[in-house]
Amino acid sequence: MDKYIDSAKYIVVAAIALVSLVFIKTFDIAFPISVVSKTASSELSVVGEGKVDVTPDTAYVDAGITINNEISVEAVQKKITDINNSIISEVKSLGVDEKNITTSDFSIMPNYQYDNGRNDISGYNGNATITIKTQDLGLVSKVVEGATKAGANRIQSLRFAVDNPDKYREQAREQAIANAREQAQKIAQTLGIQLGKVTNFVESSPQTPLAFESRALAPVGMGGGAAPDIQPGTQTITSTVTLYFEKK
């Protein structure tokens, strides 16, 4: 009796297997298959870096004029104009071209005094900024001193810049490419392979503007003492490139 039961089990299992196979074939059911590629890369990628130290060649001095508590708008305007013209004359005498002197941020504002429930105008304040550009960095201290002696009562900032930063970015890029080629040759020699032509080039260097230190200076004659010894400093421009070489 037991052997008939076992035979029946085998028959059922075989039937289920046969039905499943027919079902899969009929409805074309596919199962995922993992395939591992054995193909080796036909390229070698190498990263190179280049650095260039840059000294600024241009300076900007922002000299400020502040007038307080004048009795009229006209009085404020006249004082600012007189000081502005005096500063321009002084700076020009140092050798700065007039086209490199700009007056901006000119403003006049009333002062209010609260009295008996009313806001009455008690006077007027005025401000102006004169920006002086020079590419003679040896003049910077003299410009600061001359502007303050001519009437500027604040030096808002001193900024340095590079007139043509793209020239230095190109130098850094050329160094990075040369560095990448040198590294590629060393790697190829170590691996015992031959390099072909460059198939691709990627530069990942950020194209940010060159920013040097900006500082505020105490005006000469207003607690600042003698003109400061101003040093522009340097900044490093970095270029990072990736070169892709054919492998022979």
Using the predicted structure, report yes or no on whether residue 32 has a pLDDT greater than 80: no
What is the Cα gyration radius of the chain? 38
- Looking at the structure, tell me whether residues 98 and 144 fall in a common domain: yes
16: buried, middle or exposed (CB in 10 Å: 19+, 13-18, 0-12)? exposed
pLDDT in tens, 192-228: 999 999 999 999 866 555 555 555 555 544 444 556 6
CA distance 235 to 237: 7
* Domain identity same for 131 and 71: yes
Regarding whether 105 and 154 lie in a shared domain, the answer is: yes
- Which of the two residues, 241 and 222, has the higher pLDDT score? 241
- Bridge partner residues of 131 (DSSP): 62, 102
Say if CB 180 and CB 233 are below 8 A apart.
Answer: no
Average pLDDT over residues 12-33: 39
71 and 157 inside one domain: yes
Domain membership of residue 4 as a residue range = 1-30
Q: What is the CATH number of the domain that holds 187?
A: 3.30.110.170
Tokens of 187: 């790697």
Measured over the CA atoms of residue 143, residue 147, residue 149 and residue 150, the dihedral's sign is positive
The per-residue pLDDT for range 55-79, each reduced to its tens digit, is: 999 999 999 999 999 999 999 999 9
